[in-house]
A and B are shown apart, each in its own frame.
Chain A
Amino acid sequence: MAYRHVVGPRTWAFADLAELMAKATPVRSGDRLAGVAAESAEEGSAARWCLADVPLREILARPLIAYEDDDVTRLILDTHDAAAFSGVAHLTVGDFREFLLTATTETLARIAPGITPEMAAAVSKISRNQDLILIARKCRVVTRFRNTIGLPGTMAVRLQPNHPTDDPAGITASILDGLSYGCGDAVIGINPASDSVAALGKLLHLLDEIIRRHAIPTQGCVLTHVTTTLEAMNRGWPVDLVFQSIAGTQAANAGFGVTLAILKEAHEAMLALKRGSLGDNGMYFETGQGSALSANAHHGIDQQTLEARAYAVARPFRPLLVNTVVGFIGPEYLYDGKEIIRAGLEDHFCGKLMGVPLGVDVCYTNHAEADQDDMDVLLTLLGAAGCTYVMGVPGADDVMLNYQSTSFHDSLYVREVLGLKRAPEFEAWLHALGMTDAAGTLLPAEPGSPLLADASGLAA
Chain B
Amino acid sequence: MSEDAKIWARLAGLTPARIGLGRTGSGLPTREVLRFGLAHAQARDAVHTPMDADAVTADIEALGLPTLRVASQAADRAAYLRRPDQGRALAPADRDALERAAGDSVDLAIVVADGLSARAVHEGAAGFLAAFKPHAERAGWSLAPVIVASQARVALGDAVGAALKARAVAVLVGERPGLSSPDSLGIYLTFGPRIGRSDAERNCISNVRPAGLSHALAAFKLDWLLSQAFARGLTGVSLKDESEAALAGSDVAPALPKA
State the A residues within 8 Å of B (CB): 29, 32-33, 161-164, 167, 169-174, 176-177, 181, 331-332, 335, 365-367, 371-372, 394-397, 399, 402-404, 407, 409, 412-413, 415-416, 445, 447, 449, 452, 455-456, 458-459
Q: Is the CB of A167 within 8 A of B181?
A: no
What are 11 A-B contacts defined by CB distance under 8 Å? A33-B84, A163-B15, A173-B15, A335-B82, A366-B177, A372-B37, A395-B21, A395-B36, A397-B180, A399-B180, A413-B26
State the B residues within 8 Å of A (CB): 2-4, 7-8, 10-21, 23, 25-28, 32, 36-37, 39-40, 43-44, 46-47, 81-85, 116, 176-181
Q: Is the CB of B17 within 8 A of A161?
A: yes
Given the interface pairs A412-B26, A455-B7, the reply to whether A395 lies near B18 with Cβ below 8 Å is yes
Q: Give Cα distance in the complex from A416 to B47, angstroms.
A: 35
Q: Is the CB of B11 within 8 A of A416?
A: no
Q: Which residues of A contact B32 (CB under 8 A)?
A: 395
Q: Is the CB of B179 within 8 A of A367?
A: no
Q: Is the CB of A331 within 8 A of B82?
A: yes
Q: Is the CB of A164 within 8 A of B26?
A: no
Q: Choose among A32, A331, A458 the residue that contacts B11 (Cβ–Cβ < 8 A).
A: A458
Q: Is the CB of B14 within 8 A of A397?
A: no
Q: Is the CB of B7 within 8 A of A365?
A: no
Q: Is the CB of B39 within 8 A of A399?
A: no
Q: Give Cα distance in the complex from A376 to B7, angstroms.
A: 31
Given the interface pairs A415-B26, A447-B4, the reply to whether A164 lies near B16 with Cβ below 8 Å is yes
Most buried by A among B17, B19, B21, B84: B17
Given contacts A29-B82, A33-B84, A181-B23, 11 further A-B contacts (CB under 8 A): A171-B15, A366-B44, A394-B17, A394-B18, A394-B19, A399-B18, A416-B26, A447-B3, A449-B4, A452-B4, A459-B7
Q: Give Cα distance in the complex from A163 to B2, angstroms.
A: 27
3 closest pairs, A vs B, by CB? A395-B18, A170-B15, A402-B178
Q: Give Cα distance in the complex from A69 to B15, angstroms.
A: 47
Q: What is the count of residue pairs linking A and B with beta-carbon distances less than 8 angstroms?
A: 135
CB distance from B8 to the nearest CB of A (A): 8
Q: Which residues of B contact A173 (CB under 8 A)?
A: 11-12, 14-15, 17, 19
Q: Which residues of B contact A170 (CB under 8 A)?
A: 14-17
CB distance from A28 to the nearest CB of B (A): 10
Q: Give Cα distance in the complex from A371 to B26, angstroms.
A: 20
Q: Choose among A33, A163, A181, A335 the residue that contacts B17 (Cβ–Cβ < 8 A).
A: A163
A169 — nearest CB in chain B belongs to which residue?
A: B14
CB distance from B34 to the nearest CB of A (A): 12
Q: Give Cα distance in the complex from A172 to B14, angstroms.
A: 9
B15 — nearest CB in chain A belongs to which residue?
A: A170
Q: Which residues of B contact A169 (CB under 8 A)?
A: 14-15
Q: Choose among A29, A174, A365 the residue that contacts B176 (Cβ–Cβ < 8 A).
A: A365
Q: Is the CB of B116 within 8 A of A174?
A: no
Q: Give Cα distance in the complex from A452 to B245, angstroms.
A: 39
Q: Which residues of B contact A395 (CB under 8 A)?
A: 17-19, 21, 28, 32, 36
Q: Give Cα distance in the complex from A402 to B117, angstroms.
A: 14
Given the interface pairs A174-B15, A452-B4, the reply to whether A413 lies near B27 with Cβ below 8 Å is yes
Q: Is the CB of A366 within 8 A of B176?
A: yes
Q: Give Cα distance in the complex from A407 to B196, angstroms.
A: 40
A456 — nearest CB in chain B belongs to which residue?
A: B7
B182 — nearest CB in chain A belongs to which residue?
A: A366
CB distance from B153 to the nearest CB of A (A): 11
Q: Is the CB of A402 within 8 A of B181?
A: yes
Q: Give Cα distance in the complex from A417 to B20, angstroms.
A: 23
Q: Give Cα distance in the complex from A181 to B32, angstroms.
A: 16
Q: Is the CB of B28 within 8 A of A404?
A: no
CB distance from B13 to the nearest CB of A (A): 8
Q: Is the CB of A458 within 8 A of B14?
A: yes
Q: Is the CB of A447 within 8 A of B14?
A: no
B43 — nearest CB in chain A belongs to which residue?
A: A366
Q: Give Cα distance in the complex from A407 to B15, angstroms.
A: 16
Q: Which residues of B contact A29 (CB under 8 A)?
A: 82
Given the interface pairs A32-B82, A372-B40, A455-B7, the reply to whether A399 lies near B26 with Cβ below 8 Å is no
Q: Give Cα distance in the complex from A372 to B38, angstroms.
A: 12
Most buried by A among B15, B39, B43, B85: B15
Q: Give Cα distance in the complex from A403 to B180, angstroms.
A: 10
Q: Is the CB of A332 within 8 A of B83?
A: yes
Q: Is the CB of A409 within 8 A of B26?
A: yes
Q: Is the CB of A397 within 8 A of B17?
A: yes
Q: Give Cα distance in the complex from A210 to B3, angstroms.
A: 22
Q: Give Cα distance in the complex from A173 to B16, angstroms.
A: 11
B3 — nearest CB in chain A belongs to which residue?
A: A447
Q: Give Cα distance in the complex from A216 to B19, angstroms.
A: 21
Q: Give Cα distance in the complex from A442 to B12, angstroms.
A: 21
Q: Which residues of A contact B177 (CB under 8 A)?
A: 366-367, 402
CB distance from A386 to the nearest CB of B (A): 20
Q: Choose among B11, B25, B46 the residue that contacts A176 (Cβ–Cβ < 8 A).
A: B11
Q: Which residues of B contact A32 (CB under 8 A)?
A: 82
Q: Which residues of A contact B8 (CB under 8 A)?
A: 455
Q: Which residues of B contact A396 (CB under 8 A)?
A: 18, 36
Q: Give Cα distance in the complex from A366 to B85, angstroms.
A: 20
Q: Is the CB of A399 within 8 A of B10?
A: no
Q: Is the CB of A409 within 8 A of B11?
A: no
Q: Is the CB of B7 within 8 A of A404?
A: no
Q: Choose among A366, A409, A455 the residue that contacts B178 (Cβ–Cβ < 8 A).
A: A366
Q: Choose among A162, A367, A412 the residue that contacts B116 (Cβ–Cβ < 8 A).
A: A367
Q: Give Cα distance in the complex from A161 to B7, angstroms.
A: 18
Most buried by A among B10, B26, B27, B40: B26
Q: Is the CB of B7 within 8 A of A397?
A: no
Q: Which residues of B contact A366 (CB under 8 A)?
A: 40, 43-44, 46-47, 116, 176-179
Q: Which residues of A contact B13 (CB under 8 A)?
A: 459
Q: Give Cα distance in the complex from A456 to B28, angstroms.
A: 24
Q: Is the CB of A372 within 8 A of B36?
A: yes
B16 — nearest CB in chain A belongs to which residue?
A: A399
Q: Which residues of B contact A413 (CB under 8 A)?
A: 26-27
CB distance from B30 to the nearest CB of A (A): 13
Q: Is the CB of A445 within 8 A of B15?
A: no
B10 — nearest CB in chain A belongs to which residue?
A: A459
Q: Which residues of A contact B21 (CB under 8 A)?
A: 394-395, 409
CB distance from A390 to the nearest CB of B (A): 14
Q: Give Cα distance in the complex from A459 to B19, angstroms.
A: 14
